[in-house]
Chain A
Amino acid sequence: MRIFALCAAALVLVAPMAGAQDDAAARAKARQDSIAKAVKDSIALMKELGGALAAPADSAAAARPGQNPPSGPQGGPTNPRLLPDISAVGDFVADLSPDGSTQEDGARFSVREVELAVQAVVDPYFRGDVFLGISDLEGISIEQAFLTTTSLPHQLELRLGRYLMPVGKQNTTHRHDLHTIEYPYVIQRFLSPDGLKGTGVQASRVFSPFGFYQELIVNAVDRFREREDSLSPFEPVNKSLGGLGYAARLRNYVDISEAANFELSFSAITGRREQPLTPTYASLLADGVNAAVARQSVLAADLTYRWRPLQEGLYKSFILQSEIMHQLNESDPGIPGVNGCEDCAATSLGYAGPTRDFTGAYVFARWQTSQRTFVGARYDWVQDPLIDGRTLNAGSVYLEWFPSEFSKLVAGYEAVSPSGGETVNRLLLQATFALGPHKPHPF
């Protein structure tokens, strides 16, 4: 603008010198008028462009010295190369239990998992999220990888890929984001020790016919629970579409006051799983078949009460949470017959999978004691399928300390008491940290 004005001024000064002759003077005057008009137009245009954001002439702030122009409209994009968000979470666990490590691999200190996340908007229609899990026990695995729609009408959302299954409350949270070091026993036993995932498609919709938040989530996934490598069934569990995993969850969230709220939700999942045959019976079968295919379902209800006063929310909060799950097992799944001995296929002779139903639950409470510290306690009660449905009771207490939003240290003590077995005392320490962009806080 300034250069333009200087050029215009120079031209204006030079113009009369060129007007020694009459016709030249006329041309010069015309040029002068033209330039003056251009300058006037430019000034008007600049005023117009600046008008949206610049202060009006009568504004008291207009005269303030040193006021720079706004940065936004002139600034470039903050991510000009369209790079995805890349982040990593480290999850370390130390097991200082007095009677030896209670970890699956017997380690006293272990990197339980490193999670690598790559997340970005794919195009105007989808966003993509990829979470790779790296651990000493399992190597590298695809924890989650899914595509989510972003622009469907009527608050519909579709998700395609592998993701944490929306069954129960805590299963929808990454293990390292839990308030406790491990998932409750009912989730470990009925769903998966490190969170139940599924690969398939999910559809969900938010609605509010009664004035509070409701969300219905339905899923169809390749199978219910991971396959156990040691089991070889006589046919794939998903041979028919009826063998896929199907799940649904209905969330109901209600604000009681500005500080308190609760969520009461219901979930169900069903699918066919490999279940073991008796070794004797399996030895009669050809091709190494040692498993039957049986339907297993889980019905779940969860209740979470939260209290966090808005003004004192940095220092005070309380959560009370409980989940109950009921596992239903097909009692007579049908197993392959043996040549010449059709009666041998009777379940009572050859089937070694669960034939009864199991129930489990937990109650968890967490109290914030300062800006950075929380104490929690959990009580677990499960009819444990791993010990033939005998009852497992566990009580645990936790102390959490957050040096910042991006690191967490947890100390936990747990007494686990399987019925008929000795009480096991566990002392666990956990440290997690997050690298990369600031992630939203889980709710």
Chain B
Amino acid sequence: MIRRISLLLVAAMLALAPHLAQAQLKVVTSTTDLYDIAKSVGGDKVNATHIGEGYQDPHFIEAKPSFVLQLRNADVWAFVGLDLEIGWMPLLLDGARNPKIRLGGSGYVDASKAIRVLDTPQGNVDRSMGDVHPLGNPHYWLDPENGRRIARLFKAKFTELDAKNAAVYDANERAFEAKLNAAEKGWAGDLATIRGKPVVAWHTSWRYFAEYTGMNIIAFMEPKPGVPPSPSHLYTVIQAVKRTGARAIIMEPFYDRKVADLVAKQTGIKVLLLPPSVGGIRGAPVNDYVSLMTYDMAQLAAAVK
């Protein structure tokens, strides 16, 4: 009897072995941008999902229990870092009870470790400076060079966790970079148009984009990060727009554009809703990282030319 059971168990294990061998890495990302890059690098070897949507403010995602179900069996948790997800990530990681994706776990991937950080505050930092990120500006994916770095980071992590598919991850990552490089060549005209043009941005989320494109952010609609515009601040913005001839107010679709429209009415400046993330505007062709960058570049160039 025991022998028969043992044989059955061995047979079952042998039958399951190929399926186990083909098991995909479960990857959960905090944003759609990381999701798209993870999917590009992982291909069919990973099962990728994301928590936030491109059209919502990533600072203020609700820590819904249903997200815990996504995370509890994840092999990889990839997030933007630099405290972007500080308002909700700790609750989800505690709720998921998955040691693999906690700090120190094999699947804990802070993508900010791969990039060059801008706006790291110098000296003392306190909240009189608004919703400041003490570790630096977290909106770095809007620089395509950082997109490449994230892709390489994912390749390294996926290879570490799933070495047998290293060649696939390597090939996928190279293909992603090749696609981005090709797209980048096509942006040359737009970049030439944008470079040096004065614009107003709503939030500091466009700093990396500005660094890459050369657009000149002459004012932010928020007086301090995360602080809604006050009438006195709007007055200074209006004066700055008139003084510099800024052509566009760049803002994410999840902010209320009424205030921006007010500035536009006073100055004639255009209000440009730009998606900051993959899927950031429903119906717009921004369903992957390269398309997002292409779309934003084209929209901005058209607005400031």
Which A residues are closer than 8 A to B by beta carbons? 52-53, 55-56, 58-61, 64, 67-73, 75, 78, 121, 124, 148, 150-152, 155-157, 206, 208, 212-213, 215, 251, 253, 255, 258, 261, 263, 306, 308, 310-315, 371-372, 404-406, 438, 440-441, 443
Asked whether, in the complex, the Cβ of A311 is within 8 Å of the Cβ of B56, the reply is: yes
- How far apart are the CA atoms of A59 and B63 in the complex, in Å? 39
Which residues in B have their C-beta under 8 angstroms from that of A212? 66
Question: Contacting A58 at CB < 8 Å: which of B112, B127, B152, B181?
Answer: B181
**Known contacts A59-B177, A310-B53, A438-B83, then 4 further A-B pairs from the complex at CB < 8 Å, ordered by chain A residue:** A53-B153, A151-B102, A156-B97, A311-B253
Query: A208-B69, A443-B91 in contact; A70/B113 too (CB < 8 A)?
Result: yes
Cβ distance B139 to chain A, nearest Cβ, rounded Å: 15
Which residues in A have their C-beta under 8 angstroms from that of B44? none
- How far apart are the CA atoms of A155 and B116 in the complex, in Å? 36
Which residues in A have their C-beta under 8 angstroms from that of B62? 306, 308, 313, 441, 443
Query: A52-B156, A208-B69, A255-B64 in contact; A71/B115 too (CB < 8 A)?
Result: yes
Cβ distance B205 to chain A, nearest Cβ, rounded Å: 14
Cβ distance A70 to chain B, nearest Cβ, rounded Å: 5
Query: Which stretch (B22-30, B35-43, B142-150) binds chain A?
Result: B142-150
Tell me if B117 is interfacial: C-beta within 8 Å of chain A.
yes
Query: Would you give 23 A-B contacts (Cβ < 8 Å), ordered by A?
Result: A53-B152, A61-B144, A69-B116, A72-B110, A72-B117, A151-B99, A152-B97, A155-B96, A155-B98, A213-B69, A311-B56, A312-B254, A314-B255, A314-B256, A404-B131, A405-B131, A405-B226, A440-B63, A440-B91, A441-B62, A441-B63, A443-B62, A443-B65
Asked whether, in the complex, the Cβ of B228 is within 8 Å of the Cβ of A371, the reply is: yes
Asked whether, in the complex, the Cβ of B181 is within 8 Å of the Cβ of A71, the reply is: no
Q: Which of B52-81 contact A (CB under 8 A)?
A: 53, 55-57, 60, 62-66, 68-69, 72
Cβ distance A212 to chain B, nearest Cβ, rounded Å: 7
Asked whether, in the complex, the Cβ of B64 is within 8 Å of the Cβ of A124, the reply is: no
Cβ distance A51 to chain B, nearest Cβ, rounded Å: 9
Which residues in A have their C-beta under 8 angstroms from that of B127? 404, 406
Tell me if B295 is interfacial: C-beta within 8 Å of chain A.
no
Asked whether, in the complex, the Cβ of B99 is within 8 Å of the Cβ of A314, the reply is: no
Asked whether, in the complex, the Cβ of B227 is within 8 Å of the Cβ of A404, the reply is: yes
- How far apart are the CA atoms of A152 and B102 in the complex, in Å? 12
Which residues in B have their C-beta under 8 angstroms from that of A306? 62
Q: Which of B134-178 contact A (CB under 8 A)?
A: 135-136, 144-145, 148-149, 152-153, 156, 177
Which residues in A have their C-beta under 8 angstroms from that of B228? 371-372
Closest B residue by C-beta to A69: B116
Cβ distance B114 to chain A, nearest Cβ, rounded Å: 5
Which residues in A have their C-beta under 8 angstroms from that of B88? 440-441
Asked whether, in the complex, the Cβ of A311 is within 8 Å of the Cβ of B68, the reply is: no
Cβ distance B82 to chain A, nearest Cβ, rounded Å: 10
Asked whether, in the complex, the Cβ of A53 is within 8 Å of the Cβ of B177, the reply is: no
Closest B residue by C-beta to A56: B177
Q: Which of B91-133 contact A (CB under 8 A)?
A: 91, 94-99, 102-104, 110, 112-117, 120, 127, 131
Tell me if B196 is interfacial: C-beta within 8 Å of chain A.
no
Cβ distance B178 to chain A, nearest Cβ, rounded Å: 9
Cβ distance A125 to chain B, nearest Cβ, rounded Å: 9
Instruction: Categorize the interface residue count of chain B.
Output: 35 or more
Asked whether, in the complex, the Cβ of A70 is within 8 Å of the Cβ of B115, the reply is: yes
Asked whether, in the complex, the Cβ of A441 is within 8 Å of the Cβ of B87, the reply is: yes
Which residues in A have their C-beta under 8 angstroms from that of B189? none
Which residues in B have their C-beta under 8 angstroms from that of A53? 114, 149, 152-153
Which residues in A have their C-beta under 8 angstroms from that of B96? 155, 206
Query: A64-B145, A405-B131 in contact; A124/B104 too (CB < 8 A)?
Result: yes
Cβ distance B151 to chain A, nearest Cβ, rounded Å: 11
Asked whether, in the complex, the Cβ of A72 is within 8 Å of the Cβ of B115, the reply is: yes
Most B CB contacts (10 A, CB to CB) among A156, A157, A441 go to: A441
Question: Contacting A314 at CB < 8 Å: which of B60, B116, B144?
Answer: B60
Closest A residue by C-beta to B182: A60
Closest B residue by C-beta to A64: B145
Asked whether, in the complex, the Cβ of A314 is within 8 Å of the Cβ of B254, the reply is: yes
Which 10 pairs from chain A and chain B are nearest by CB? A72-B113, A310-B56, A213-B65, A253-B65, A151-B99, A61-B145, A440-B91, A155-B97, A311-B55, A438-B86
Which residues in B have their C-beta under 8 angstroms from that of A78? 135
Query: A70-B149, A313-B56, A314-B255 in contact; A60/B184 too (CB < 8 A)?
Result: yes
Asked whether, in the complex, the Cβ of A72 is within 8 Å of the Cβ of B97, the reply is: no
Q: Which of B247-267 contact A (CB under 8 A)?
A: 253-256
Question: Contacting A261 at CB < 8 Å: which of B64, B91, B177, B227?
Answer: B64
Which residues in A have their C-beta under 8 angstroms from that of B152? 52-53
Cβ distance A57 to chain B, nearest Cβ, rounded Å: 12
Asked whether, in the complex, the Cβ of B63 is within 8 Å of the Cβ of A313, the reply is: no
- How far apart are the CA atoms of A157 and B110 in the complex, in Å? 25
Tell me if B285 is interfacial: C-beta within 8 Å of chain A.
no
- How far apart are the CA atoms of A27 and B86 in the complex, in Å? 62
Asked whether, in the complex, the Cβ of A150 is within 8 Å of the Cβ of B99, the reply is: yes
Which residues in B have their C-beta under 8 angstroms from that of A308? 62
Asked whether, in the complex, the Cβ of A253 is within 8 Å of the Cβ of B66, the reply is: yes
Cβ distance B118 to chain A, nearest Cβ, rounded Å: 10
Closest B residue by C-beta to A55: B148
Asked whether, in the complex, the Cβ of A251 is within 8 Å of the Cβ of B53, the reply is: no
Closest A residue by C-beta to B99: A151
Which residues in A have their C-beta under 8 angstroms from that of B83? 438
Query: A440-B86, A440-B91, A443-B63 in contact; A313/B57 too (CB < 8 A)?
Result: yes
Query: A61-B145, A253-B64 in contact; A67/B116 too (CB < 8 A)?
Result: yes
Which residues in B have their C-beta under 8 angstroms from that of A61? 144-145, 148, 184
- How far apart are the CA atoms of A251 and B56 in the complex, in Å? 27
Asked whether, in the complex, the Cβ of A310 is within 8 Å of the Cβ of B145, the reply is: no
- How far apart are the CA atoms of A73 and B135 in the complex, in Å? 14
- How far apart are the CA atoms of A157 and B254 in the complex, in Å? 36
Which residues in A have their C-beta under 8 angstroms from that of B63? 440-441, 443
Closest A residue by C-beta to B211: A66
- How far apart are the CA atoms of A67 and B53 in the complex, in Å? 30
